[in-house]
Every structure is written in C-alpha cells, then in structure tokens.
Amino acid sequence: MTEDPARILAVRAQLLATEHWSLLATRSQTWAEVMGRISAQFTFASASLVVLALTVQVVGMTDSFRLLAVWLGVAVLVTGTLTALRVRNASQEDLMLVAGMNRLRAAYVEIDPWIKDYLVTGWTDDPAGIRRTYNLGVNRSGPSYFLASAFVFAGAVNVIVAAGLGAVLADTIGAGGAATVLISAAAAVLYAGLVVFPAHRGYRRILGGPPPEAQDDDEASQQPL
C-alpha cells in the first residue's frame, strides 16, 4: 500500500514544528536566566555603592574604608565579568538557535514554497538569513548590533567598575590627582582590551563555523553580519 504523499508532508511538518517550539522554548528560558543574572549583578553593585556611601559617613576616607572599597570593587568586577561572559555565551547560543529555526523554515518552504513570500523572518542559516530574522526588515548597521547588545551593556558597567577600582587603588598608594586619573583610565582600557573586545571577537567567530545547509540566492547577495 502506497503512503499518501500529502499525509507524509503533514507528518514532516508536525515533526519540524515540534523541533521549532523546542528551540523557541530554549531561547526564551536562556534569556530569562540571563536577564535574572544581570538584574542580580546590578542589585549587588548598587548595594555595594550604598554600603560604601554609608561607611564613608561613619569612618571617613580612612585606610579601612579604602580597603573595603577595594574588596567590594574586586567582588563587583569579578561577578560582573562572570555575568558578562554568560551574556556573551547566551548571545552565541541565541545566534545558533536563530540559525536552527531558519533551517527549519527552509524545510517549511521546501514542503510548501507558497509560504516563502509571507515569511517575515529568514529561512536560510547563512549570515544574510540570520540578519533578516534579527532585524525583521529594519536596515541596521553592524556597529548598532554590537553597541546595543546586552553584552556591551554589561561590559560597559564592568569597565566603569574597573576604572573606579583603579582610582581607589591609586589613591590608596598615595598617587596624586593626575596620576589617579591616568591609572583609572588605564584600568578601564586594560579591562576593555583584555575582556570585552576578545569576548566579542569570540561571538563573531561563530559566524565562521559550520557551513550553512540552506542558502537563498537573493539573501546570499546581502551584506553579511
């Protein structure tokens, strides 16, 4: 007995939809976790500032206060770095989830080419297709993706914390005003150069990973991410 081709396609569509919902759920859970970690980190940083503000009113700018400021600064910077790295990893995972869902939409298009003209998101897992899914038709420049990302937001806060920690350390060793400013700026630049930008390059390398399975000639001609 020959299987009904329409029934076979219907079963395939159901199986693909099951995988699609699984990827959507994973994406939602990932970002819920990341937003929770970012909120917890900023709560910790804010609480540390409150502790320092209350302490300095009691003990003044003493060595004890400076020691407390250094240790709190180190703690905030370490936890902030771990949070930023988790955000970076989540961004990489999100990129792969989007590529996976694009690949599933390519299968939908193969089952029924009629739907292709009605898809708002991309149906290829190449950079052009991923861009289409992320921007939903809005033409954005490459730097805007980077500067508006959650990773850069978390990283910028960490850079500010690194600058503050550098200033406190400089003041602790008795550096003058100009030297304190220079040490603070150097700490910010050093942290950004050693942590923020290398992590972003790791995210960008994901785009050069496994070759795409489904590409569209029209989308392949668009600018890469």
Listed range (42-46, 47-51, 57-61, 104-108) with the worst mean pLDDT: 57-61
Tell me the pTM. Answer: 0.76
In this prediction, residue 222 carries a pLDDT of 46
Name which of 46, 96, 57 is nearest 206 in CA terms: 96
In this prediction, residue 76 carries a pLDDT of 94
Whole-number percent of the chain with pLDDT over 70? 85
Give the residue, 83 or 138, on which the prediction is more confident.
83
Instruction: Write down the mean pLDDT value for the chain.
Output: 82
Give the pair of three-digit tokens for residue 216.
Answer: 């569209």
In this prediction, residue 225 carries a pLDDT of 37
Give the residue, 215 or 194, on which the prediction is more confident.
194
Give the model's confidence band at 118: pLDDT under 50 very low, under 70 low, under 90 confident, else very high: confident
**DSSP 8-class letter at 192:** I
